[in-house]
Amino acid sequence: MSSDDFSSPVRAKRNFCIMKNVIQAQRKRIHGLRVTVNSLGKRVRTLNSLISVLKKKSYISDSSENVLRASLSGSSLKIFERMLRGPSSQKYDPSIRTFALTLSFY
């Protein structure tokens, strides 16, 4: 903006309103991005953290925790951890790939 944009009271008022709207839009966007960052920071990323969160909130008991840890081992543990990480473009492990291929035959 230059001084010509504020040369008359009408232009000054119009440009001031435009700048005010731009600042409000930027503040809304910053707030939305902060909310997104905070929610991604709180996201559960590993099986151990998931089990600890569930236990901390009293959703599962000690025996349920032991059953979960015992039942998820090997390839099922890798699949579950991959699901927790979310979508990615990484290749699957060879063991998971062979497991999936055997499932597709049945």
d(C-alpha 4, C-alpha 46), whole Å: 58
Residue range(s) defining the domain that contains residue 72: 62-105
pLDDT digits (tens, 9 = 90+) for 37-55: 888 777 777 777 777 888 8
In a domain, 47, yes or no: no
In a domain, 16, yes or no: yes
Output the pLDDT for position 89. 67
In a domain, 54, yes or no: no
Residues 68 and 37 in one domain: no
In a domain, 91, yes or no: yes
CB neighbourhood size of 64 (10 A): 13
In a domain, 49, yes or no: no
pLDDT in tens, the chain (106 residues): 667 777 788 888 888 899 999 999 999 999 999 999 888 777 777 777 777 888 888 888 888 877 877 777 776 777 777 776 666 666 777 877 887 788 877 6
In a domain, 46, yes or no: no
In a domain, 100, yes or no: yes
In a domain, 18, yes or no: yes
| Number of structural domains the chain divides into | 2
Query: Would you say the pTM of this structure is higher than 0.75?
Result: no
